[in-house]
Structure 1
Amino acid sequence: MLWDILTGQFSLDLQGDTVSGTKQETAPQLPALTPEEKRIRDRKLKKERRKEERRRLRESGAAQSLPAKRSGSQLALDYLRGWAEKDENWRFQKTRQTWLLLHMYDSDQVPDELFSTLLAYLEGLRGRARELTVQKAEALMRELDEASGSEPLPQGKTQRIRQVLQLLS
């Protein structure tokens, strides 16, 4: 049988996964893959193809021509603007809201011109998000009161904390 393979008397049928030749001999059948094994194999092949494509793009220099992804801060601020403009495509996004709640006291992250919009957004805040926002603002105010002699918080941050507390309490 090895001689037949070496002399080319066998051909490989890729679609049927069988080996056939001019003689009536057949190769031993490999066990059929289970659906889970096929899924895993397909995922690995897809991953390898994507990796190869990225490598080719890097080598050709085409990767620089792809549009840059927008940062989380830009996406969150656009989300807030869309809410304010009552954009028909606007929809609630937990990750954007979370980013806004985490960074709302930082004037570098949320510019002053958008802070009033953010306060209007916070008016509609409900449930656990509202509770946690109030708790965090109260904790920051306590921290501010305790640290009044040492490093004081920036005036803008202090004012923002007071505005949020006044609005939500």
Structure 2
Amino acid sequence: MTNNKQANPDLQPKRRKLAVNDPPGDSNPDHEAKKKRKKDKLEQVNSEISSALVKAKDEIQKNKKHKKIKKKNPEPAEVSDPPNAPEEIVLEGEEDLSPEERRVLERKMKKILKKEERKRLREEGETESKTDSDGPTAAQMALDYLTCWAENRGEWKFQKTRQTWLLQHMFDLEKVSKDKFAVLLEYLEGLRGAAKDTSVQKAMALVQQSGETQDDAAVQQRALRAREVIQLLS
């Protein structure tokens, strides 16, 4: 029996012919419009960031002028917000951004604010430098490392940076005291390799220098330590 669809071509489903002007792919007008709205929103947020930065900069300048006036006319101390702290910037439309777009804007904002802060410090003649309050100095950490080696060997761990500092400054009476140098001599008994050879060469150079500058008391004191090091390591 012959199939009805084959017998009657009119019953077969008609295929839609693609028009020559049909765009390729899955073109979605709603998607394109959504992308355009998001792009416009990002441009708006960037514009608001610039405006907020100008406002923050003006606020900083106003606080600086107020600070100068306050120095001339001191008032009783009051609990207030930290100086030069701009108000929290709330951007309209930020809630419509994706998490990734929000992170990008936050990084951009922090970078611009940091640049403005560095510029302000330069104008005031200040420099961003570390102080003693930032943490222990390299000298203190090296001496603590030596003390730990002598008194608490169980918790002591070798640190090349601390050892290098000690080897570089062991002849300096101001940086390594007499008591610490005595402990350091015990530490040097285990010195090996290039560090040992370099220390001996440096000590011999100091001894030679002391013979050329006999009137220099500081050189003679370093030479005394150098002779002890040579005797220990040779």
Matched, 1:90 2:156: yes
SS of the residue corresponding to residue 135 of structure 1 reads: helix
Matched, 1:117 2:156: no
Match in the other structure for 2:168: 102
SS of the residue corresponding to residue 180 of structure 2 reads: helix
Contact 2:210 2:219 in 1 (8 A): no
Higher alpha-carbon Rg: 2
Q: Which structure carries more strand by proportion?
A: 1
Match in the other structure for 1:165: 230
How far apart, in 1, do the equivalents of 2:187 and 2:161 lie?
A: 15
How far apart, in 1, do the equivalents of 2:171 and 2:200 lie?
A: 13
How far apart, in 2, do the equivalents of 1:134 and 1:43 lie?
A: 54
Aligned residue identity for 2:224: Q
TM-score by length of 2: 0.44
Contact 1:144 1:153 in 2 (8 A): no
Percentage of pairs with the same residue: 43
Q: Which structure carries more helix by proportion?
A: 2
TM-score by length of 1: 0.59
Aligned length: 128
Contact 1:80 1:117 in 2 (8 A): yes
User: C-alpha root-mean-square deviation of aligned residues, in Å?
Assistant: 3.8
Describe the superposition over 1:40-66 as per-residue Cα deviations: whole angstroms up to 9, x where unpaired: x969968968x98xxxxxxxxxxxxxx
SS of the residue corresponding to residue 108 of structure 1 reads: coil
Q: Which runs of 5+ in 2 are unaligned?
A: 1-36, 41-92, 99-103, 118-132
1:68–1:130 distance in 2 versus 1, CA, 3 Å:
same
1:48–1:85 distance in 2 versus 1, CA, 3 Å:
farther
1:131 corresponds, among 197, 200, 206, to: 197
Aligned residue identity for 2:157: R
How far apart, in 2, do the equivalents of 1:163 and 1:17 lie?
A: 70
Describe the superposition over 1:97-134 as per-residue Cα deviations: whole angstroms up to 9, x where unpaired: 11101110111101111111100111111110000000
Q: Quote how far apart the aligned CAs of 1:15 are.
A: 9.3
